[in-house]
Amino acid sequence: MSGPTVEIVTPAHNEAEYLERCVERLSELAASMPSQVRITVVDSGSTDDTWQVAQTLAERYGITAIRVDLPGRGRAIRAAWSASDADVLAYTDVDLSGDVTALPMMVDLVGSGAADVVIGSRLLEGARVRRRWSRSVMSHTYSQIVQWLAAPPVLDLQCGLKVIDARVAREVLHHVDNEDWFFDTELLLAAWQSGHRLVEVPLEWSERVRTTVRYPSTIVEDLSGLIRLEVQQVGRRLTGGSRNLRVDPAPLGRVAAHEAVQTVAVALICLPGGVGSGAARSGPLRAVVGGVAVAAALRSLTAPGRRGAVPLGDLVQLLAALGWASLVRRVRWLPVLLRFATGSARVASSAVWSVPEPTGRLSPPHPVGRRVSTRRA
C-alpha cells in the first residue's frame, strides 16, 4: 500500500449499541483506501458492555481496543493519539453522524501536505445537516462566541470528524489541558496559534436521536474553557510568551470594520440627530436603517463563512436598539455607548488572538465549497 499510515480513533463511552456498526463501516472504508489504515476503539470509563463488545470486535476485525478508566472524549483521543506511531491521525464519533466517506479526502489533504489539520464542518456553506433545531442553534451560538473572542479561520470547532498530521498532534497536545468536550476547541485554537494550516470541509451530517452529551455541564465546560484560554492568551501577549506576537492587520481589520459599521447603525437608529432633525423625519428613517441592519444580520446567518461577522450578536443588539429607540425617550446614547464598548472589547480580544496570515495559499485539487486557511509553522 502507498501513502502515509493512518490511524482512525473512535472514542466510546457507553456506546455498546452503536460500536459494532461503527467498526464495520470503518473497516469497509479502510479497505477502500490506498493507505495502510488502522482502527482503534477507546472505551473511556463505560459502565455498560462497551468494553466487552470492543474486545470481541478487536478479535473479529483485527482492530485495536484500548480502555481508559475515566470518561471524556478528549481523554480517549489523547490516549490513542499519544500511543500511535501513524503518520496521520483521525477521529470520528462512534455514532457516525458525520459522513465518514469524507475521510479519504481529508486524509489526502493532510498526507499531501496541503493542510496540517482538516476538520469536518456542519456550519460551512455546502454542508447538508439533519439535526434538531435546538442543537443547531447551540452549535451556531457557540461558533459565534468563539468568533467574537478570537475570530479563528474555522467555524465548527466541535464537529466529531477531524484529521491531523501526527507531528502536529504531538506538538499541540502538550498545550491542551481539557479532557472532555472542550478538547476539540482547545486543540484547534492551539494548532492555529502555533502557525499550522487549518482546512475546513463541509460535511453531510445526520444526527442520531440518543446522545451521551449532557448539555448544561457541557455549556459550563465550554464557556469556562474559553474564559481560561482568553486569560492565558492575554498573559502570553503581555509577557511575550506567544510564538506569534505580531498582530495581523488583515483579519483584525475585517473585525474592526464590521464593529464600526454596526456601531454606526445603532447610532443612526437611536440618536434622532443622526437620521434627521425632528421626530417626524427621524422615525421613518430610523425604521429604514434598522430594517436594513437587521436584514444584513439575518443574511449573515445564512452565509456563516464571512469571517468577522457575528450575526446573532449583531441581531440581538440591533433589535434591542430599535426597541430602546421606540420605547425610551431619554438616554438614547446608552445603546450607542454599549455597542461601542462591546465592539471595542471584541477588537481588543481579536488582536490578542491575531496571528500572521500565510504568505501564500495552497490550492489542493478537491471540490470547491469549503473554507480553507493555510498556515505555515
Q: What is the mean pLDDT of residues 282-288?
A: 66
Q: What is the mean pLDDT of residues 18-33?
A: 95
What is the model's pTM? 0.86
pLDDT 10s digits, 76-88:
999 999 999 999 9
Check pLDDT > 60 for residue 93. yes
140-144, 236-240, 338-342: range with lowest mean pLDDT: 236-240
The pLDDT-based confidence of 241 (bands split at 50, 70, 90) is low
CA 189 to CA 192: how far, in whole Å? 5
Q: What is the mean pLDDT of residues 281-286?
A: 62
Q: What is the mean pLDDT of residues 136-146?
A: 90
Does the domain at residues 6-244 carry the CATH identifier 3.40.50.2300? no
Q: What is the pLDDT of residue 369?
A: 34
CA 217 to CA 219: how far, in whole Å? 5
Check pLDDT > 90 for residue 46. yes
Hey, what amino acid is at 286? R
Q: What is the pLDDT of residue 305?
A: 54
Report whether 251 contacts 354 (CB < 8 A).
yes
Distances (CA, A) of 22 to 205, 221, 230: 15, 28, 36
Burial class of residue 196 (count of CB atoms within 10 Å of its CB; 0-12, 13-18, 19+):
buried
Written in H, E and C, the secondary structure of 81-116 is HHHCCCCEEEEECCCCCECHHHHHHHHHHHHCCCCC
Q: Pick the more confident residue, 308 or 351.
A: 351
Residues in CB range of 306: below 8 A, 6 or more apart: 300
Please name every residue paired with 371 in a beta bridge, in sequence order, or none if there are none: 200
CA 132 to CA 310: how far, in whole Å? 22
CA quadruple 119, 120, 122, 127: dihedral positive or negative?
Answer: positive
4-13, 165-174, 235-244: range with lowest mean pLDDT: 235-244
The pLDDT-based confidence of 69 (bands split at 50, 70, 90) is very high
Q: What is the largest CA-CA distance in the chain?
A: 81
In percent, how much of the chain has pLDDT > 70?
82
pLDDT 10s digits, 147-171:
999 999 899 999 999 999 999 999 9
Q: What is the mean pLDDT of residues 106-127?
A: 93
* Phi then psi dihedrals of residue 190, to 5 deg: -65, -40
Report whether 71 contacts 151 (CB < 8 A).
no
Check pLDDT > 70 for residue 328. yes
Q: Pick the more confident residue, 138 or 53.
A: 53
Q: What is the H or E stretch that residue 275 is in?
A: helix 272-275
What cell was used for 51? 468494553
Distances (CA, A) of 239 to 166, 221, 232, 343, 353: 30, 27, 10, 25, 14
Q: What is the pLDDT of residue 1?
A: 57
Check pLDDT > 90 for residue 30. yes
CA 335 to CA 342: how far, in whole Å? 10
Q: What is the pLDDT of residue 374?
A: 37
pLDDT 10s digits, 185-219:
999 999 999 989 999 999 999 987 565 566 678 88
Q: How many CB atoms lie within 10 A of CB 34?
A: 13
According to DSSP, residue 167 is labeled: H
* Segments making up each domain of the chain, as ranges: 6-244, 249-353
Check pLDDT > 60 for residue 366. no
According to DSSP, residue 193 is labeled: H
Report whether 358 contacts 116 (CB < 8 A).
no
Q: Pick the more confident residue, 93 or 135.
A: 93
Place of cell 474592526: 256
